[in-house]
Amino acid sequence: MDDGCAWATSTCPEPSAPALAPAPTPAVDAPRSPTDDDSFPALRGFCDGVPAADEAELEERRARAQRRLADAGLGALIVEAGPTLTYLSGARWGQSERPLLLILPASGEPAWVGPAFERQRLEELVGARARLLTWEEDVSPYGRVPAALGELGVTRAARVAVDLDARGFVLEGLREVLGARRVVGGAEVIRSCRMIKGARELARLRRANEATKAALREAAARLRPGMREDELAALVRRAQEEAGLTDIWVLALFGPNAALPHGTRERRALREGELVLVDTGGALHGYRSDITRTWSIGPVEDELRRAWDTVLQAQSAALAALRPGTRCAAVDAAARAVVERAGFGGGFERFTHRLGHGIGLQVHEEPYLRPGNERALAAGMTMSNEPGIYVPGRFGVRLEDIVAVTEDGAEVFGPRAQSLERPFG
């Protein structure tokens, strides 16, 4: 790491973005065997030209959080290892019984508190010039926090907000050394920053989701009857790796297994006339993709086609409702009404889950598109739009795209499904 950067784990020079040739439309009805070739050369370089957050972007984020702290009358924010620490600093550190804490005052430079025997690694992580206080193994990990706050100019009377994702024992340790009345939740401070994505965050999310869609389309071209769910999952994983994504996960379900939204342990082999459901994603510089497509191999029963068409219509209704000022619950209701009118039941009868979840450095984060959530949408929020219909023992259909709320509507990252015959746009 550049010694001049006290925060980011790595800095990435911004390369010029290559012109990306559109991936060929797969011939889903005449796929190749995955044993013929498990590489996807057309996807290589797909994520080039989208850099990680640099120090200037991280400074903007910390300044935004500090303004929120000042507006709320709070003296500091304490964050432990996890997505919010990465958001504010660029640093990634695993959680253990030895907490690493970032202390961000309402004004001025931050400080870190961590284990003494990790000092060299921590200096490599946060920069040798960062303010770092350490503790030995025979004392409380939280004992240095009051001193750190004092050095940062935070008065003893000032309230201190704590990361909404902080583990219970960390919260209790902070209350012991600071006093329970002084420690408050930092959820609103963090949400107000992380829920609204900046242009560079949107660029990472956009490319990550475009990459997953392109990879899924390429992998689907190699699907054939007789292939097992885990074999298709391996292809989808490999394709996303070739596209440049990391932290990849894949859920591949065939026929009646897709009636369980999060799947089963069974490894079913595909039969003609069944629906295929794949829910998958990865990460680009920590920013997540989450895409679901449902399609068929060969002709399907009329009811399956009708269910697929209904899910697409429900997704379109939700997309039309996504705009600044709309309540999260109203977007969910728009999709759910389409499913009910089509005769697939109201409420959670066949559409068994919420419409969507926020996405960013976490696959699931706020806001949530669900009944009862009265939070109003705002430009810069990003979320999934994923209605589904599930008939136990028979089939499941889900279509999922990631969307960003814009000033006058919403943007879908990457092509939408068009029909059962054109599930990849």
The confidence band for 330, taking pLDDT boundaries of 50, 70 and 90, is: very high
**Residue owning tokens 């008065």:** 155
Instruction: Report the distance separating Cα 394 and Cα 205, nearest Å.
Output: 34
Q: Give the chain's mean pLDDT.
A: 91
Instruction: Give the H/E segment covering residue 333.
Output: helix 328-341
Which has the higher per-residue pLDDT, 417 or 10? 417
pLDDT tops 70 at residue 14: no
Q: Is residue 150 one of the residues assigned to a domain?
A: yes
Amino acid of residue 335 = A
Q: Are residues 167 and 294 in the same domain?
A: no
Q: In the structure, what pLDDT confidence band is assigned to residue 348 with cuts at 50, 70 and 90?
A: very high
Last residue of a domain, one of 162, 194, 226: 194
| Pair (276, 166) in one structural domain | no
For residue 405, which amino acid is it?
V
What is the rounded average pLDDT of the residues 63-91? Answer: 97
- Specify the pLDDT at position 299: 94
Q: Is residue 214 included in any domain, yes or no?
A: yes
Distance in angstroms (rounded) separating the CA atoms of residues 425 and 420 = 10
Judge whether 202 lies within some domain.
Answer: yes
Mean pLDDT for 248-276 is: 94
* pLDDT surpassing 50 at residue 20: no
- Could you give the angle at which helices 302-321 and 328-341 cross, rounded to 10 degrees? 150
Check whether residue 233 and residue 304 sit in a common domain: yes
Record the tokens describing residue 102, joined without a space. Answer: 């970032």
Answer yes or no: do 227 and 330 share one domain: yes
Q: Residue 320: give the domain boundaries.
A: 197-412
The first and second tokens of residue 362, run together, are 């976490």
Residue 40 lies in a domain: no
pLDDT of residue 49: 97
Cα 126 to Cα 132: distance, rounded to the nearest angstrom: 9
Give the count of domains, the chain: 2
The confidence score (pLDDT) of residue 92 equals 94
CB proximity list for 31: less than 8 A, separation 6 or greater: 220, 221, 222, 223, 224
Tell whether the model's pLDDT for residue 386 goes beyond 80: yes
What span, in angstroms and rounded, lies between the C-alpha atoms of 169 and 148?
Answer: 20
337: left (phi over 0), alpha (psi -120 to 50) or beta: alpha
Strands 275-284 and 291-296: antiparallel
Same domain, 159 and 61: yes
Q: What is the pLDDT of residue 264?
A: 82
Given a contact cutoff of 8 angstroms between Cβ atoms, the answer to whether 249 and 289 are in contact is no
How crowded is the C-beta side of 129, counted as CA atoms within 13 Å?
9
> In b/e form, how buried is each residue of 98-112, taking b as 16+ CB within 10 angstroms?
ebbbbbbbbeeebbb
Which of 149, 164, 194 is where one domain is finished? Answer: 194
d(CA 15, CA 310): 43
Domain assignment present for residue 42? The answer is: no
Q: Is residue 25 part of a domain?
A: no
pLDDT over 70 (residue 37) = no
Return the CATH number at 293: 3.90.230.10
Q: Are residues 185 and 241 in the same domain?
A: no
Q: Which of 156, 179, 194 is the last residue of a domain?
A: 194
Residues in the chain: 425
Residue 29 lies in a domain: no
> Both 188 and 234 in a single domain?
no
Predicted confidence at residue 127, as pLDDT, reads 87
* Positive or negative: CA dihedral 352, 353, 356, 362: negative
Q: Are residues 372 and 232 in the same domain?
A: yes
State whether 363 and 333 are in the same domain: yes
- Are 239 and 378 contacting, i.e. CB atoms less than 8 angstroms apart? no
> Does 99 map to a domain?
yes
